[in-house]
Structure 1
């Protein structure tokens, strides 16, 4: 074992700010004593899953609420407690947590559930990453569930991102259709779109009986308590007294997003460490808020085509130069055409721009609503940014092609304003 003197001087081996930064990671699952303001919701989830403790089929459940209201956290926490309690009576419960924003096809979801649940020595099958059709993946899924569990709980986070809801029908009817005989399946679907069930196919609506639960946003006091229960991520006395109240207040302004509050606090600590500060200050928090918002928006648009970014930039320009916050497709299209000419892009049709705006709405990058024009005049869509336009602009201009717009942007925005 090497001595401290042998350590590479390129790296630092102490952390003056964080005692355990992992407590601030999104993937961290806190113990029940650290969960705040969700007793009623925890009980409702527990009621739905309770039959699994005895090896019986749990009730399916849809959970709705805005981002950062604890939907995924409570689902995972209660499910873990079900697994523990069932194990006391030798009942095997497993769960698969699927982020449908990343895995949104029927085949990828089926494959991932099977890989998580599978124990090849018990099921007699393997589940390869590729090389099988969807039907073959289903066959292996049924075999792994039957041989490796008594109950499988499938948590589908951002369930509204699924390309096809057929998987819901097949999972919910697996026992009835005798795909599995020695086990049962429970589904928890999580979404921030409360109208998601309205868009399910009729076949799924008729087969998927479920309970529904809505999570309300956290208030500022609850956010303070959530952050206080994670302040042991930092060394003692590192956080200045106003850091947690300010972080909570900033997050409470935006529908009580606990996830964002935790992200801001973590980024504030990282900024303090980067600047070699001895303590985390309110100024670190304010800087961290902007970084957190930019990082989140960047994740949303990462991989988007440049044409889509140009359309978003057009909406940003309009928002920055008007007291209005919502704009019809036609106005956005006119602004986009001006930007496309400056960037030497092929100009898309207005119909295609409308489709891209709807795609961005689906991805929660923007919000689109259809409004009536009056009797006999049909309806049109209006679109608005969900993020601060200055943050959106900063992130979009990271694209080297769009960065060409930065020079002379003031002149360009004066030329095209809403209504022209």
Structure 2
């Protein structure tokens, strides 16, 4: 290929098509037709419009980003589909006949054997869509009009091993599936972003991926369109659905209200409010409900500006400066510049009204220097400050980790949210579902008691009820009973806990098994850490013949198990959150811990 200039100078094209900066005149590249077609240039169209393919206006071939091609067994797309559709698929499990709202029958299959893999609802696959490859999560494997299909929710690759969920569903023959993939963080695949119908990108919890897929499934809608009561219950139990009134937490709500009222009246707060409690105990909901009630009162409606920051969405602690600078000062700055801008604003005297800042999931701001936490709480102590800062933590002992200068700025105003009791959970679920009669009273009571015994997490109770509603829809039943709650609880948490325990390192499995044995032998609900320490080293010396643990090492392991919500720690007492059966199933098959299994089973 030759580049021609008016001076008739000829030179070879550099490998990356780079135009030398020393050229004073534009270099024009003359390509033949085949080369232009490779660069996706329509030769006839370009020259009819009186244009020449200018090199500088074209993206170099070496820089063009093409989608990664899949290995196709045939040269063309049609041959690929033809060859792959000829593969054999073995449909497994019992067949469930469902009647759609149009009166047609769908045969729903449990699983299918595919390339030595078993595909079932919830599995991720790489598939061919419009001559391109993408990823999808299987919702249903079904047969209609004597033809077998699968419905998938589509995922797109954002960057290497990062994927984006969509609400796009496709129904394809099994021949369009290329292979099964494993979408887990352990394998390096991360999917925490959802593109909604409006095109906005929102952060989502990967654990509820299948639930989101089934909730908007077109096949599920066809099967269950005639059951509006259950669909309404599912909608009410969705975590994003805001309750019309707040159930319980009367004392905590009053304390938050008094703190905000007094601070807004004087124009600032010398101390900050620290709220702590386990996840799902209503901390954020109570605070936001209190803010809404203040806004509805005429005396406070225009007295303050509210800013809510969820620190779990921050890539690093310092990013909170940029968010606050944009909300307060209406300027886009980052890092140290944003901090300096906020400091200048706080010290200035020209301000109107208060700024109430809620820092949610404040645990994520904890670093070695704790400089971000210090600056947040220090703003309220500066002269002319109009900041009212409140922090919410999901751990009970976070304040113990604060260094002295952070504690001195934060103050001593603290509210602790205890886990919900059975009666509180029952009242919460009943009032949330007051507009539907899909649940029997016994089912709500059973769910409340079961969740209260585990964690007292209201979000978990909603999740169990919602899963039970899906199960009732699949079985074409009008009421949700205790059987549905039991099955939902087992599907949602039993298998998840077992998988979590199986992935734990040996020391954590060993401590968990020792805790089970300690509780079983003493017939108690909790055990002292020192008792676990002595029993663990006894097993290590006599049974497992491995090195013993120090008391500090055991305490560290227990704290790690607590952060994974497998145990709960209250001062020096440890309580098992998962069932002993989950622990047994989780350590089963581990050769090193095989000697402990007979003791756990009671043999």
TM-score bin (small chain): 0.5 to 0.7
In the other structure, the counterpart of 2:387 is 184
**Pairing of 1:128-277 with structure 2 (within 5 A):** 135=336, 138-139=339-340, 150-157=354-361, 159=363, 162-164=366-368, 165-174=370-379, 176-177=381-382, 183-191=386-394, 193=396, 196-231=398-433, 236-254=436-454, 256-277=456-477
- Match of 1:108, SS state, is coil
Shift of 1:202: 2.0
Note if contact 1:96-1:117 (Cα within 8 Å) is conserved in structure 2: no
Q: CA deviation at 1:153?
A: 1.1
Change (3 A) 1:361 1:285: closer
RMSD of equivalent CA atoms: 4.7
Q: What SS class does the counterpart of residue 284 from structure 1 fall into?
A: helix
Q: Which runs of no fewer than 5 residues in structure 2 stay unpaired?
A: 1-101, 105-168, 173-217
- Aligned-partner Cα distance in 2 for 1:370–1:250: 24
1:267-292 residue CA offsets vs partner (Å, 9 max, x unmatched): 22122234443321111112223344
State whether structure 2 residue 236 is matched by structure 1 residue 23.
yes
**C-alpha contact 2:267 2:353 (8 A) present in aligned 1:** no
CA distance in 2, matches of 1:211, 1:154: 15
Q: Which runs of 5+ in 1 are unaligned?
A: 342-346, 372-381
Counterpart of 2:93 in structure 1 is none
In 2: Cα distance, 1:348 partner to 1:123 partner: 59
> What's the counterpart of residue 344 of structure 1?
none
Rounded to whole Å, the distance in 2 between the matches of 1:315 and 1:357 is: 11
Pairwise CA distance, 1:257: 4.0
Deviations 1:163-186 (A, max 9, x none): 4554332211125457xx675241
Change (3 A) 1:338 1:67: farther
> If the length of structure 1 is used for normalisation, what is the TM-score?
0.68
Contact 1:68 1:256 in 2 (8 A): yes
Q: 1:75: Cα distance to partner?
A: 1.6
Residues 294 and 338 of structure 1: CA distance in aligned 2, closer, same or farther (over 3 Å): farther
Whole-angstrom distance in 1 between the partners of 2:390 and 2:559: 28
SS at match of 2:415: strand
CA offsets, 1:351-377, max 9 Å, x none?
Answer: 595343343345553356887xxxxxx
Match for 1:123 among 325, 330, 336? Answer: 330
| Aligned match of 2:211 | none
Q: Does 1:306 align with 2:517?
A: no
1:358–1:368 Cα contact (<8 Å) kept: yes
Of the three residues 347, 366, 376, the one matched with 2:567 is 366
CA distance in 1, matches of 2:535, 2:411: 43
Instruction: Work out the CA distance in 1 between the residues paired with 2:352 and 2:512.
Output: 50
Alignment of 1:414 onto 2:591: no
CA distance in 2, matches of 1:48, 1:191: 21
1:61 Cα deviation after fit: 1.6
Using CA pairs under 8 Å that are at least 6 residues apart, name the structure with larger relative contact order, 1 or 2: 1
Shift of 1:74: 0.4
The answer to which structure has the higher strand fraction is 2
Say which structure is richer in helix: 1
CA distance change for structure 1 residues 321 and 18 in 2, over 3 Å: closer, same or farther? same
- The question of 1:47 aligning with 2:258 is answered yes
- The verdict on how the C-alpha distance between 1:113 and 1:353 changes in structure 2, with shifts beyond 3 A counting, is same
The number of aligned residues is: 372
Question: Do the aligned residues in 2 keep the contact of 1:329 with 1:383 (CA within 8 Å)?
Answer: no
**4+ residue runs of structure 1 moved beyond 6 angstroms?**
7-10, 143-149, 336-341, 415-418
1:365-395 CA-to-partner distances (Å, cap 9, x unmatched) read 3356887xxxxxxxxxx8553322223444x
